Structure 1
Amino acid sequence: MILIWFVLAAMTLVTAVLLALPLFNTRKFKNEAQFALEVYRDQLQELNRDTLAGLIAPDQAKQAQVEIERRILALTEGPQWRPARLPSHGMLVVAAVVLPLLGFGLYLLVGRPDLPGQPFASSAQATALPPAIVALQDAVAAKPNDSAAWVALANAYADADLARDAATAFGKAVALGATSADTLAAYGRALLVANDGEMSEPARAAFRRALAAEPSHPMARFFLALGRAQDGDLEGALSDWMALEADSPADAPWRATLEEHIARASQRLGRAGPDTGIAGPSAAGPSAAGPSADDIAAAEAMSPEERQEFVNDMVGRLAERLAAEPDDLDGWLRLGRAYQVLGRGEDARNAFAKAAALAPARLDIQLDYADAIIAGRTDLDRYLPPEFIETVARIRTLDPENPLGLYYGGLVARLAGNRAEAQRLWQKVLDRLPADSPQRTMLQREFDSLLPAAN
Structure 2
Amino acid sequence: MILVWLVFAAMTLATAVLLALPLFYTRKVKNEAVFALAVYRDQMLELGRDAEAGLIAPEQAKLAQTEIERRVLALTNGPQWQPGRAPSHGLLITAAVALPLLGFGLYLLLGAPELPAQPFVAQTAEPSAVSAELAALEADVAARPTAAKAWIALAAGYDAAGRAQDAATAYGKAVALGAEDAATLAAFGQAQLIANRGELNDAAAATFRRALAVDPSNPTARFFLALGRAQAGDVEGALTDWMALEKDTPLDAPWRTTLETHIAKAAERLGKPMSDGAAGPSAADIAAAEAMTPEQREAFVNGMVGRLAEKLKADPDDLDGWIRLARAYQVLQRSDDARAAWAKAAALAPARLDVQLDYADAIIAGRSDLDRYLPPEFVETVGRVRTLDPKNPLGLYYGGLVARVAGDTAEARKLWTEVLELLPPDAPQRAELRKELDSLLP
TM-score bracket for this pair, using the shorter chain length: 0.3 to 0.5
Please say which structure displays the higher CA radius of gyration: 2
TM-score normalized with structure 2 length: 0.41
TM-score normalized with structure 1 length: 0.40
